[in-house]
């Protein structure tokens, strides 16, 4: 039993497995605003109930900019880059977000859906060519979002192994790896700065998002370092998340193959299934950090100015106070007001792009592999112990 004065280490001992940590459920019931110690040694608050998570994500008194102040509590090993979307507050954040909001708007992103659908079908055909079994993470879940963000941003796909290795390290949760993490962040920054420098000289119509952002610096709306941070954030956020979610989605459906079979029979359910799978699968074992700028009361606890608070989205999405039968995977769930893509000013910029990637991935795989099955028991699947949750491997087979 958790004592009221206890500070719990996060990620919890019972995290990184198929089902969400039972500690989340216990905290929701007994201590909805709890003290936790991050891997980097900072003591912050953790909120686990749906209403409180939504409140922390949306209330402007909780700052993201303050999470990069020199004395800010740290969640993990790498320090977030200042001056990017996730590390600014309105009105600065509003200014930055406006620069890319058109490119990521629903209508603009829908225009690339056919291309993403083709890519998903091509990759599914490549998987089939592997024989009767394969690691779906390596052959499908990872290459799809990497190719998509490379294409949109204008990053050479041939460089993927380099920026993937740095990205992996950037999300490390192992404090012992700090020097390697810092070196990886420096390499990633140099790499993106090189891409930007090559663009600054180019003229003519923008060919991709990087061109558009470079144009933004020419017009004075974005400084040089801001541009590098911005592009780096898009490159990393734009593939790591979707790649892990594609793997988790397929595994969740195959854990009880009746779900897979049901979608094979009813592909029209895919959009609602994607929303449910977003709710069902967590992207993080920890939470989204904010720092209170003034004293704020949350569920009867006062969070003092300067204190950190993490919003556990994965817990909120399983809160029985917000969802009926929250641990059941109900592919037709309506309504489904999950918080998987965030809420408030920092709501996921790539939400529509992610939805398209996830929908088109499922459609291509359901069509190509109606008999898809896990090659190992679901409970034996290996989870990555890093900031963005997901499977290290996804061995599947088909007949
Ligand atoms: C399934 C895939 C994805 C999930 C579950 C996801 C989830 C999230 C969440 C929860 C946030 C809010 C974080 C917070 O409030 O602290 C966020 C923000 C963000 N996401 Fe995503 N994301 C996904 C895919 C993408 C993609 C494909 C992109 C492509 C560019 C992207 C770009 C971003 C950016 C730039 C932000 C920061 C927005 C801001 O601070 O204004 N995400 N995402």
CB 273 within 8 A of CB 362: yes
CB 93 within 8 A of CB 101: no
Give pLDDT tens digits for 73-127.
988 777 788 889 999 999 999 999 998 888 899 999 999 999 999 999 999 999 9
Which residues, 6+ apart, have CB-to-CB distance to 158 below 8 Å? none
Mean pLDDT of 55-60: 98
Say what the alpha-carbon torsion angle 133, 138, 140, 146 is, to the nearest 10 degrees. Answer: -170
Q: What does the pLDDT read at residue 4?
A: 54
Mean pLDDT of 135-151: 96
Task: Please give the number of the atom of ligand 1 that sits closest to the Cα of 344.
Answer: 15
> What string of DSSP letters covers 80-101?
PPTTSGGG--TTHHHHHHHHHH
Which residues, 6+ apart, have CB-to-CB distance to 324 below 8 Å? none
Say what the alpha-carbon torsion angle 248, 250, 251, 255 is, to the nearest 10 degrees. Answer: 140
Ligand 1 centre distance from Cα of residue 105 (Å): 14
Q: Which of 367, 351, 342, 353 is nearest to 270 (CA)?
A: 367
Rounded Cα gap, residues 339 and 316, in angstroms:
7
E-strand stretches of 123-215 = 133-135
Whether 377 has a pLDDT exceeding 80, the answer reads yes
Task: Check if 48 has its Cβ closer than 6 Å to any atom of ligand 1.
Answer: no
Supply 37's token pair. 């110690």
Q: What does the pLDDT read at residue 63?
A: 98
Give pLDDT tens digits for 309-356.
999 999 999 999 999 999 999 999 999 999 999 999 999 999 999 999
309 has which bridge partners?
A: 45, 290
> What string of DSSP letters covers 288-307?
EEEEESS-EEETTEEEPTT-
Question: Could you confirm whether 272 is annotated as catalytic?
Answer: no
Give pLDDT tens digits for 172-190.
777 778 888 888 889 999 9
- 5 confidence band (pLDDT: 50, 70, 90): low
Q: Whose CA is nearest to atom 37 of ligand 1?
A: 86
Task: Check if 245 has its Cβ closer than 6 Å to any atom of ligand 1.
Answer: yes
- 1 confidence band (pLDDT: 50, 70, 90): very low
pTM of the predicted model as reported, rounded to 2 decimal places: 0.95
Give pLDDT tens digits for 230-257.
899 999 988 889 999 999 999 999 999 9
Across the chain, mean pLDDT equals 92
Cβ–Cβ contacts within 10 Å for residue 168, how many? 14
CB 318 within 8 A of CB 20: yes
Q: What does the pLDDT read at residue 118?
A: 98
Mean pLDDT of 57-74: 95
Task: Check if 241 has its Cβ closer than 6 Å to any atom of ligand 1.
Answer: yes
Task: Check if 36 has its Cβ closer than 6 Å to any atom of ligand 1.
Answer: no
Supply 353's token pair. 């792009």
CB 171 within 8 A of CB 164: no
Q: What does the pLDDT read at residue 290?
A: 97
Task: Check if 342 has its Cβ closer than 6 Å to any atom of ligand 1.
Answer: yes
| % pLDDT > 70, the chain | 96
Q: What does the pLDDT read at residue 168?
A: 82
For ligand 1, pick from 210, 347, 350, 355 the residue to mutate: most ligand atoms within 8 Å of CB: 350
Q: Radius of gyration (Cα) for the chain, nearest Å?
A: 21
Whether 3 has a pLDDT exceeding 70, the answer reads no
Whether 2 has a pLDDT exceeding 50, the answer reads no
- State the angle between helix axes of 143-153 and 351-368 in degrees (0 to 180), rounded to the nearest 10: 140
CB 299 within 8 A of CB 45: no
Does residue 269 or residue 41 have the better pLDDT? 269
Q: What does the pLDDT read at residue 76?
A: 78
Query: Which range (150-159, 194-203, 240-249) has the least confidence?
Result: 194-203
- 202 confidence band (pLDDT: 50, 70, 90): low
| Residue ranges of domains in the chain, CATH in brackets | 8-397 (1.10.630.10)
- 59 confidence band (pLDDT: 50, 70, 90): very high
Whether 225 has a pLDDT exceeding 90, the answer reads no
Q: H or E stretch including 155?
A: none
Give pLDDT tens digits for 27-37.
999 999 999 99
């Amino acid at each position: 039993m958790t004592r009221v004065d206890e500070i719990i280490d996060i990620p919890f001992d019972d995290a990184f497995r198929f089902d969400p940590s039972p500690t989340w459920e216990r905290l929701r019931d007994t201590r909805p605003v709890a003290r936790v110690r991050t891997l980097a040694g900072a003591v912050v608050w953790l909120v686990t109930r749906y209403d409180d998570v939504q409140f922390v994500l949306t209330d402007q008194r909780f700052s993201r900019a303050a999470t990069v102040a020199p004395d800010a509590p740290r969640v993990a090993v790498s320090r977030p880059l200042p001056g990017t979307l996730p590390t600014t507050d309105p009105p600065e954040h509003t200014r930055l977000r406006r620069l890319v909001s058109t490119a990521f708007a629903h209508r603009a992103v829908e225009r690339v859906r056919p291309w993403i659908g083709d890519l998903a079908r091509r990759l599914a055909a490549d998987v089939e060519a592997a024989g009767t079994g394969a690691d779906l993470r390596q052959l499908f879940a990872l290459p799809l979002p990497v190719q998509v963000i490379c294409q949109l941003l204008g990053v050479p796909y041939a460089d993927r192994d380099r920026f993937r290795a740095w990205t992996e390290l950037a999300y490390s949760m192992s404090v012992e790896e700090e020097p390697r993490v810092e070196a990886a962040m420096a390499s990633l920054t140099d790499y993106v700065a090189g891409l930007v420098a090559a663009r600054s000289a180019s003229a003519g119509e923008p060919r991709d998002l990087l061109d558009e952002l470079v144009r933004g610096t020419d017009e004075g709306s974005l400084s040089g370092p801001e541009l590098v941070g911005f592009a780096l954030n898009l490159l990393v956020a734009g593939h790591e998340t979707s790649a892990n979610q594609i793997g988790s989605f397929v595994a969740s459906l195959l854990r009880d193959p009746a779900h897979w079979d049901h979608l094979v029979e009813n592909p029209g359910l895919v959009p609602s299934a994607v929303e449910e799978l977003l709710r069902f699968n967590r992207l993080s074992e920890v939470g989204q950090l904010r720092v209170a700028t003034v004293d704020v009361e949350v569920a009867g606890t006062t969070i003092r100015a300067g204190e950190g608070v993490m919003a556990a989205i994965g817990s909120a999405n399983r809160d029985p106070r917000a969802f009926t039968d929250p641990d059941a995977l109900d592919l037709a769930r309506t309504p489904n007001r999950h918080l998987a893509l965030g809420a408030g000013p920092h709501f996921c910029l790539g939400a529509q792009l992610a939805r398209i990637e996830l929908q088109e991935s499922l459609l291509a795989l359901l069509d190509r592999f109606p008999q898809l099955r896990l090659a190992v028991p679901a409970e034996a699947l290996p989870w990555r112990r890093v900031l963005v949750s997901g499977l290290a491997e996804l061995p599947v087979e088909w007949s």
